[in-house]
């Protein structure tokens, strides 16, 4: 039929799926729609005017952490495409996956644990897994030298204790995107059943972590909130840090905390 393409070919040409094999799999899974109707066959001819949709029920990243970081990278205008990155506290690899999806050339996944990184990432040639590695003991040589971007998601420890080490991992002009978890910053007295709900405590936590960042020779570039809550419903935040003091910006913690408490659903989800 003139002026038409096979559905699987059209999906790839329009950039909706990366390969014909993945397009065919998506059709078989019932995830592809043509003009609002679920497609039955990958070989179905479709016109250039046909509206194609992929409605995948699968999460976009190996863990919800990727959704958190994706929001932060967009909010801060950070583009890791073609850059070398380190994911400190990589765990399953949500942040690592997000960085790769945005075009990072290489990601060093650093974690004190072992066997947590998703196999799809562990087997990716762009990923270097550094397990049983405390960032405070990490030699930048293990990353082949300081990297362009560092993401941080650590638990059961304050960011103030790891940021000095992180500073040594990022090159001059590089940036850091760090997840701030009030439940691990405020202390047990401020948390009820592991959840810190008081906006005033959140503001205090952000201000304290910001001071730690400046003490570690970072400049403050931005702050935002995670679009989804952490485990048990904890609202979390991101700080955007740079290595060039002259471009530091004043941050409005009151505003971001107010918006977060109004916008973030309180149902907890795992990283």
Statement to judge: residues 113 and 204 lie in one domain: yes
Q: What is the pTM of this model?
A: 0.79
226 domain residue, yes or no: yes
CA of residue 227 relative to chain centroid, distance = 11
Sign of CA dihedral 65, 66, 67, 68: positive
For residues 233 and 270, give the distance between their C-alpha atoms in angstroms, rounded to a whole number.
Answer: 10
Could you tell me if 194 and 121 lie in one domain? yes
Residue 60 lies in a domain: no
Q: Model confidence at 37, in pLDDT bands (50, 70, 90)?
A: very high
Per-residue pLDDT averaged across 91-111, rounded?
A: 95
Which pLDDT tens digit goes with each residue over 10-21?
999 988 887 888
The domain tally of the chain equals 2
Tens digits of residue pLDDT in 145-198: 999 999 999 999 999 999 999 999 999 999 999 999 999 998 766 666 678 889
36 and 87, same domain (yes or no): no
Residue 252 within a domain:
yes
258 strand-pairing partners = none
Is residue 246 situated within a structural domain? yes
Looking at residues 242-267, what average pLDDT do you find? 86
- CATH number, domain of 84, equals 3.40.50.150
Exposure class string for 237-260: b at 16+ Cβ within 10 A, else e: bbbbbbbeeeeeeebebeebbeeb
Q: Give the whole-number percent of the chain exceeding pLDDT 70.
A: 93
CATH of residue 11's domain is 3.10.290.10
217 shares a domain with 111: yes
Q: Is the pLDDT of residue 245 over 80?
A: no
**Nearest CA among 113, 94, 228, 204 for reference residue 151:** 94
Q: Does a structural domain hold residue 268? A: no
Q: Are residues 236 and 203 located together in one domain of the fold?
A: yes
* Parent domain of 31: 4-54
- 46 and 72 part of one domain: no
Is 269 part of a structural domain of the chain?
no
Q: Classify residue 49: in a domain, yes or no.
A: yes
pLDDT tens per residue across span 127-136: 999 999 999 9
Are 99 and 130 within one domain?
yes
Judgement on whether residues 128 and 160 belong to the same structural domain of the protein: yes
Name the nearest CA neighbour of 236 among 153, 176, 175: 153
C-alpha 215/C-alpha 213 separation (Å) is 5
pLDDT of residue 193: 67
Structure tokens at 270: 């795992």
């Amino acid at each position: 039929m003139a002026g038409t393409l096979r559905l699987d070919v059209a999906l790839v040409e329009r950039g909706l799926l990366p390969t014909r094999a993945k397009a065919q799999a998506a059709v078989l899974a019932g995830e592809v729609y043509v003009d609002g109707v679920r497609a039955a066959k990958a070989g179905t001819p479709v016109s250039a005017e046909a509206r194609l949709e992929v409605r995948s029920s699968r999460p976009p990243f190996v863990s919800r952490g990727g959704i958190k970081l994706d929001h932060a990278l967009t909010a801060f205008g950070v583009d890791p495409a073609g850059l070398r990155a380190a994911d400190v506290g990589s765990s399953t690899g949500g942040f690592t996956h997000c960085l790769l999806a945005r075009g990072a050339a290489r990601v060093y996944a650093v974690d004190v644990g072992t066997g947590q990184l998703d196999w799809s990432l562990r087997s990716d040639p762009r990923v270097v897994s550094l397990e049983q590695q405390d960032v405070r003991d990490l030699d930048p040589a293990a990353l082949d030298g300081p990297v362009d971007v560092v993401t941080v998601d650590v638990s059961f420890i304050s960011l103030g204790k790891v940021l000095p080490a992180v500073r040594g991992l990022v090159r001059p002009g590089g940036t850091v995107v760090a997840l701030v978890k009030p439940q691990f910053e405020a202390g047990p007295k401020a948390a009820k059943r592991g959840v810190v709900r008081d906006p005033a405590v959140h503001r205090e936590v952000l201000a304290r972590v910001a001071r730690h960042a400046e003490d570690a020779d970072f400049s403050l570039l931005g702050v935002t909130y995670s679009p989804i809550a952490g485990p048990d419903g904890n609202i979390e935040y991101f700080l955007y840090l740079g290595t060039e003091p002259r471009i530091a910006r004043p941050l409005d913690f009151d505003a971001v905390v107010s918006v977060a408490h109004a916008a973030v659903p309180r149902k907890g989800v795992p990283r």
